[in-house]
Chain A
Amino acid sequence: MSSPHPLVGVALQPDDVFFEHNGALLEEHAELFEVTPETLWDSRCEPTSGHERLLRFCKRRAIPVVGHGVLFSIAATGSPQRRDAWLRALQRDAAAFGFVWLSEHLGFADAAGQHTAWPLPLPMTEQAVATTAQALQQLRTACASVVFEAVLFENNADLFCLGEPLEQAKLYSRVCDAADAHMLLDLHNAYAFCRNTGLELERFLEHLPWSRVREIHLSGGSDSDPEFLPSGRSMRLDSHDGAVPEAVWHALALALPRASNLRAVVCEWFPEAMDAAAGQQFAADFARAHGMVASAF
């Protein structure tokens, strides 16, 4: 995939409502698609009708496609039972879609024989680095049969932290080095993480391994209802259901000159929150991101 500037893309969803309200964006403007394979599988990791729909659409549009997973559980110390079937399915989908790279959320979703469906935070330890690096290598091997450039991991919108929040940036650098991996920097997740842990976003950004940032995610989110917690506190959630906040646009402006190896900026919006008004906002956010990328590179 060669381009004079980073491509601006869309996280593709198989739902009717997503196609209905994003026609021009998907058919004309998106320069890259991101696909989450596991959302297109049944419980045996076999393709569903959504898989067929997205595969057909991606083939017709013929623009680069990258894979993005959430629940491989790359930092789980005990390998989940599903892992072999999951790797075979990823191998199949990397070939079918022609993933240029594959990303996964940092963290673990499996322990004590249970699955949380939500990647949980890691402490900055050498064991966490080594466990993550080993799983990233498994992903790299699974995708080795196709033209494939890299494995990436994504920072999360954690609601709590093990240790000092700024140590997470050190963890990212160590994983990049140990696994020869790259980073998918989700700017809304970074914003949410900093808000939830009391860290200044600009300070957090200063410590990231910028030369390893290959992809950026842009999305909106929401504040939790104060009634959710006995303390009445509101925390920032990665809900992908609204406009990109100004703080995240500011973070993108800071990120673009620093991310010298950036290859893509991908806009996200969950189908559960998609309607006509959301589609208009999503298109506006995409256009703004496209303009900023074009100016910066």
Chain B
Amino acid sequence: MLSRLQELLVLALRESDPLAFLQATVPNEVDLSDQERAWLLAIDGDGLRLTRMLIRKLRLQRIVRGDPQASAFMARDPAGFAACFARYDRDVAWNYVFPREEADAFRRYW
């Protein structure tokens, strides 16, 4: 089922090791066809990891673009900002589309 395939891909991308998530989860999924299961288990792990990195980079960019204070935080203390972003990204779901709403959520978190 395409909807379950899409859910599993996004849930995998939320994990630090997306391929390991798929390998652990997909074999037991009853809502996937045999073909869908095979496709997910054959995904290029490097491509999946890099996709996760790009999604997180876009999220970071939304925060910095959406709030001058966040941008100033990153310029003033790059390591501290990176650590705060890593916690935020772990704890807060990928819910936001526009820079301002992502930046507001980050501000509430930080």
Residues of A at the B interface (CB closer than 8 Å) are: 38, 41-43, 71, 76-78, 82, 108, 111-118, 120, 123, 125, 127-128, 131, 158-163, 196-197, 224, 228-231, 233, 235, 237
Contacts and interface: CB of A to CB of B under 8 A. Distances in A.
Contacts of B83: none
Contact of A117 (B14, B47, B58): B58
B93 A113 contact: yes
Contacts, number: 103
A50 B54 CA distance: 25
A114 B2 contact: no
Interface string B1-22: 1110111011101100000000
Which 9 interchain pairs have the tightest Cβ spacing? A160-B47, A159-B47, A77-B3, A111-B6, A114-B94, A43-B98, A112-B7, A162-B39, A43-B101
B90 to A, nearest CB: 13
A116 B55 contact: yes
Interface of B: 1-3, 5-7, 9-11, 13-14, 35-36, 39-40, 43-44, 46-51, 53-55, 58-59, 62, 93-98, 100-101
B51 A160 contact: yes
A77 B1 CA distance: 10
A224 B49 CA distance: 12
B2 A128 contact: yes
Given A116-B55, A117-B55, A235-B46, A108 B6 contact: yes
Nearest to B99: A43
Contacts of B59: 117
Contact of B98 (A42, A123, A229): A42
A115 B95 contact: yes
A127 B93 contact: no
Contacts of B94: 114-117
Contact of B2 (A71, A131, A230): A131
